[in-house]
């Protein structure tokens, strides 16, 4: 196992009918800005419930954060938050709203141009102050509710933003707030969470037994409850397990002390930036082809994955590996996610656009061994046609 530090200060409040506890989690004298998305939280009454749970606190609302949140929209929120002297931010939404709120919390105090926040990647934003924030999750998928990471779109590119200051103080996970999700968002969420686990697991063995078994447990759970939640909106226990899987997939715990390979995410982000395909869906398109391409590099872990996640123990090593990759793709297809680029209208010209964007973003040495260049990305994309 590799050395690691683990820090995750976010309090999780999980379960139905717990909104009343907001009162203890947000300072009584706080001036709160509720941040929400394109309108679902307003339309389905979540914002009204949240506002009433905030009691006598002074509350400002900022709506209109789009999926894949845009820098310009978030800067409007920053202006409002500064002029209203907001001292607590409350995100009510999915990954886009939670991520956007993290950016707002940093940008309210940043002493350089706010766009500079976007250019520090995984090294982290050099920032010493952020407005405290909490989250009310309406879409289980990204794990943003329990990590310090966010993704912001600027000039048609997606930029990763890291800062320990943006861990939410708390996140409330009530399955009732997710019941209005359209089916395709459930599918996207299941795929996103599953692939978060894969990218921290399917690399090379380092004898990290706790992390491996937790990762396998989350994946098996997602396989069990993903389809159930997708097909049966009333199944609350499945939905709860899906929600907690999505949080644990990216709250840092399974990723400590192990190599990571975020190649699928890096390619997926470009498919969203260039063609507007939803985040989770982009990953499901790419992953099966990436695994086929990197079969030799990931051989030992793929065999473990075949055995412990898909119960494939018969046949030759190659048969088991191919079987596990096929099962993975079938799992995404069972959620009605089509896993080829042509279906989304992406041709050779589109592939070239993705490659040139990745080059501009410096995404040229990817994978757990940093030897996956754009030539390999091209092979993956061409095979995904
Ligand atoms: O905007 P509204 O009207 O609220 O509609 C949203 C949006 O259209 C809708 N929705 C959310 N909750 C709903 C609902 N509709 C009905 N009922 C509800 N309860 O769902 C649509 C998608 O929402 P969005 O927040 O964009 O989806 P998701 O949670 O998948 O977030 C995607 C964003 O997160 C980033 C992605 O890059 C993307 O920008 N990521 C963030 C990560 C992180 N912070 O750790 C990691 C991820 O890998 C990912 O990159
Ligand atoms: Zn993701």
- Which one, of 246, 175, 257, lies nearest residue 210 by Cα? 257
Q: Is residue 1 part of a domain?
A: no
Model confidence at 6, pLDDT cuts 50, 70, 90, reads very high
Residue minimizing CA distance to atom 49 of ligand 1: 142
Q: Is residue 249 part of a domain?
A: yes
Together in a domain, 201 and 52: no
Together in a domain, 156 and 194: no
Residue minimizing CA distance to atom 18 of ligand 1: 181
User: Could you identify the residue written with the tokens 């996140």?
Assistant: 171
Q: Compute the distance between CA of residue 107 and CA of residue 156 in angstroms, rounded to an integer.
A: 19
Together in a domain, 206 and 66: no
Structural domain count of the chain: 2
Give yes or no for residue 74 CB within 6 A of ligand 1.
no
The answer on pLDDT for 43 being more than 90 is yes
Residue minimizing CA distance to atom 28 of ligand 1: 95
DSSP H or E stretch at residue 78: helix 71-83
Q: What digits encode the pLDDT tens for the residues 200-216? A: 999 999 999 999 999 99
The confidence score (pLDDT) of residue 116 equals 98
Q: Is residue 155 part of a domain?
A: yes
Q: Is residue 5 part of a domain?
A: no
Q: Which ligand 1 atom lies nearest to the CA of residue 185?
A: 20
Together in a domain, 249 and 270: yes
The confidence score (pLDDT) of residue 122 equals 87
In CATH, what number is assigned to the domain containing residue 115?
3.40.50.1970
Together in a domain, 207 and 258: yes
Give yes or no for residue 175 CB within 6 A of ligand 1.
no
Residue 57, both tokens: 């606190």
**Backbone phi, psi, residue 295, to 5°:** -55, -45
Q: Which residues pair with 181 in a beta bridge?
A: none
Which of 39, 67, 70 gets mutated to test ligand 1 (max ligand atoms within 8 A of its CB)? 67
Which of 142, 250, 273 gets mutated to test ligand 1 (max ligand atoms within 8 A of its CB)? 142
Question: By the 8 A CB rule, do 186 and 229 touch?
Answer: yes
Q: What is the 3-state secondary structure (H, E, C) of 247-276?
A: HHHCCCHHHCCCCCCCHHHHHHHHHHHHHC
Together in a domain, 260 and 120: no
Q: What share of the chain is helix, strand, coil (3-state, %, to 5)?
A: 55, 10, 35
- Which one, of 211, 340, 216, 195, lies nearest residue 265 by Cα? 195
User: Which residue range is the domain that position 344 belongs to?
Assistant: 182-383
Mean pLDDT for 357-366 is 96
Together in a domain, 366 and 265: yes
Residue minimizing CA distance to atom 16 of ligand 1: 181
The confidence score (pLDDT) of residue 271 equals 98
Residue 194, both tokens: 């599953």
- How many angstroms separate the Cα of 234 from the Cα of each of 143, 179, 228, 255? 23, 8, 10, 32
Q: Which ligand 1 atom lies nearest to the CA of residue 269?
A: 37
Together in a domain, 373 and 240: yes
In CATH, what number is assigned to the domain containing residue 328?
1.20.1090.10
Q: Is residue 2 part of a domain?
A: no
Q: Compute the distance between CA of residue 70 and CA of residue 83 in angstroms, rounded to an integer.
A: 20
Q: What digits encode the pLDDT tens for the residues 247-286? A: 999 999 999 999 999 999 999 999 999 999 999 999 999 9
Q: What is the DSSP string of 182-212?
A: -HHHHHHHHHHHHHHHHHHHSS-----HHHH
Give Cα 40 distance to the centre of its chain: 19
Residue minimizing CA distance to atom 22 of ligand 1: 67
Q: What digits encode the pLDDT tens for the residues 75-84? A: 999 999 999 9
Cα(99) to ligand 1 centroid in Å equals: 9
- Which one, of 117, 157, 99, 165, lies nearest residue 274 by Cα? 157
pTM, two decimal places? 0.98
Long-range Cβ contacts of 22-27 (<8 Å, 24+ apart): 22/50, 22/53, 22/54, 22/134, 22/172, 23/53, 23/54, 23/55, 25/134, 25/169, 25/170, 26/54, 26/57, 26/88, 26/90, 26/134, 27/87, 27/88
Cα(328) to ligand 2 centroid in Å equals: 16
Mean pLDDT for 113-128 is 95
Give yes or no for residue 197 CB within 6 A of ligand 1.
no
Together in a domain, 112 and 256: no
Last residue of a domain, one of 137, 156, 177: 177
User: Could you identify the residue written with the tokens 């990723």?
Assistant: 255
Give yes or no for residue 70 CB within 6 A of ligand 1.
no
Give yes or no for residue 271 CB within 6 A of ligand 1.
no
Q: Compute the distance between CA of residue 24 and CA of residue 45 in angstroms, rounded to an integer.
A: 22
Q: Is residue 340 part of a domain?
A: yes
Helix axes 279-293 and 183-201, enclosed angle (nearest 10): 40
List, in order, residues 6 or more apart from 268 with CB less than 8 Å away.
279, 282, 283, 285, 286
Give the number of residues written for the chain: 385
Q: What digits encode the pLDDT tens for the residues 138-180? A: 999 999 999 999 999 999 999 999 999 999 999 999 999 999 9
Last residue of a domain, one of 177, 202, 227: 177
Q: Compute the distance between CA of residue 75 and CA of residue 71 in angstroms, rounded to an integer.
A: 6
Together in a domain, 224 and 101: no
Question: By the 8 A CB rule, do 289 and 380 touch?
Answer: yes
Together in a domain, 192 and 285: yes
**3-state SS, residue 72:** helix
Q: Which ligand has the shortest distance to the CA of 191? A: 2
Give yes or no for residue 282 CB within 6 A of ligand 1.
no
Together in a domain, 323 and 238: yes
Q: Is residue 4 part of a domain?
A: no
Sign of the alpha-carbon torsion through 287, 293, 296, 297: negative
Q: What digits encode the pLDDT tens for the residues 86-112? A: 999 999 999 999 999 999 999 999 999
Q: Is residue 152 part of a domain?
A: yes
The confidence score (pLDDT) of residue 199 equals 98
Last residue of a domain, one of 177, 200, 223: 177
Buried b (16+ CB within 10 A) or exposed e, 265-281: bbbbbbbbbbeebbbbb
């Amino acid at each position: 196992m590799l050395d690691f530090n683990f820090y995750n200060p976010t309090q999780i409040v999980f379960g139905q009918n717990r909104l009343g506890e907001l009162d203890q989690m947000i300072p009584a004298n706080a001036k709160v800005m509720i941040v929400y998305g394109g309108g679902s939280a307003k339309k389905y009454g979540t914002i009204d419930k949240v506002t009433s749970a905030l009691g006598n606190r002074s509350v400002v609302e900022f709506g209109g954060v789009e999926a894949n949140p845009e820098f310009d929209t978030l800067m409007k929120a920053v202006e409002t938050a500064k002029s209203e002297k907001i001292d607590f931010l409350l995100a009510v939404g999915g990954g886009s709203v939670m991520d956007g709120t993290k950016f707002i919390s940093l940008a309210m105090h940043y002493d350089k141009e706010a766009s500079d926040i976007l250019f520090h990647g995984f090294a982290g934003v050099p920032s010493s102050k952020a407005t405290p924030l909490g989250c009310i999750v309406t879409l289980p998928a990204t794990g943003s509710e329990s990590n310090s990471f966010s993704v912001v779109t600027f000039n048609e590119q997606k930029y990763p933003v890291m800062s320990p200051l943006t861990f939410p103080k708390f996140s409330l996970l009530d399955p009732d707030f997710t019941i209005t999700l359209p089916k395709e968002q459930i599918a996207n969420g299941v795929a996103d969470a599953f692939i978060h686990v894969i990218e921290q697991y399917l690399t090379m063995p380092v004898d990290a037994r706790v992390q491996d078994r937790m990762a396998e447990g989350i994946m098996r759970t997602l396989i069990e409850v993903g389809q159930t939640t997708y097909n049966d909106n009333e199944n609350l226990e499945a939905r709860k397990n899906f929600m907690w899987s999505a949080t644990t997939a990216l709250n840092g715990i399974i990723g400590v002390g192990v190599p990571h390979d975020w190649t699928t995410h890096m390619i997926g982000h470009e498919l969203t930036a260039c063609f507007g395909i939803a985040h989770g869906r982009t990953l499901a398109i790419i992953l099966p082809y990436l695994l086929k391409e990197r079969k030799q590099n990931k051989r030992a872990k793929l065999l473990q994955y075949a055995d412990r996640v898909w119960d494939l123990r018969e046949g030759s090593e190659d048969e088991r590996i191919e079987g596990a990759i096929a099962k993975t793709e079938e799992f995404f297809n069972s959620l009605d996610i089509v896993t080829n680029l042509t279906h989304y209208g992406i041709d050779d010209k589109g592939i070239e656009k993705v490659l040139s964007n990745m080059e501009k973003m410096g995404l040229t040495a990817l994978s757990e061994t940093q030897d996956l260049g754009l030539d390999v990305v091209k092979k993956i994309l061409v095979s995904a046609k």
